[in-house]
Amino acid sequence: MRHHLLLRVITKLLVGPIILFALYVQFHGDYSPGGGFQAGVIFAVAFILFGIVFGLTKVKQVFPPWIVHKLAALGVLIYAGTGIYSLMLGSTFLNYGAFTPAHPEHGQHWGILIVELGVGITVAAVMVAIYYAFAARPPVINDEEW
């Protein structure tokens, strides 16, 4: 892997901005195009790019598979928990307006933010998990033959 100097330098340069852009798409999603799903995919792309260039063992040190699988469940828990919380407040499932009965707009703002966060965490974790599952297969072509 040592001969991909240019790709390694550019990848190191790009991983940070890609994660930053994912967070921008995540938390700016209620003002501009974007949201949890796209942000999760962009977030996962940073790790997939790192894994493609530096190898699966390196990226598994950064983002271990057991954390990935826990995060995939955590996102669904946040999403469903928001809905259950609004149920407990005596409203319907995922009715954010019930969080702050005096100002339903505030409750809707926070509710959509939390739900999108859950969606983003799950999508990012599932994308990385799919990449791990594919990349962990034995290679069809040996590295020496390249």
Q: Which residues bind other proteins (CB under 8 A)?
A: 3-4, 6-7, 10, 13-14, 17, 146
Considering the complex, state which of residue 7 and residue 129 has its C-beta at the smaller distance from other proteins: 7
* Dihedral sign for Cα atoms in the order 117, 119, 121, 123: negative
User: Smallest distance from the beta carbon of 17 to other proteins, in angstroms?
Assistant: 7
Token duo for residue 75 = 């996102």
Evaluate whether 11 touches 54 at the Cβ level (below 8 Å): yes
Considering the complex, state which of residue 5 and residue 88 has its C-beta at the smaller distance from other proteins: 5
Considering the complex, state which of residue 11 and residue 86 has its C-beta at the smaller distance from other proteins: 11
User: Smallest distance from the beta carbon of 143 to other proteins, in angstroms?
Assistant: 11
User: Smallest distance from the beta carbon of 47 to other proteins, in angstroms?
Assistant: 17
- Identify the H or E element spanning 15: helix 5-27
What is the separation, in whole angstroms, between the first and last Cα of the chain?
10
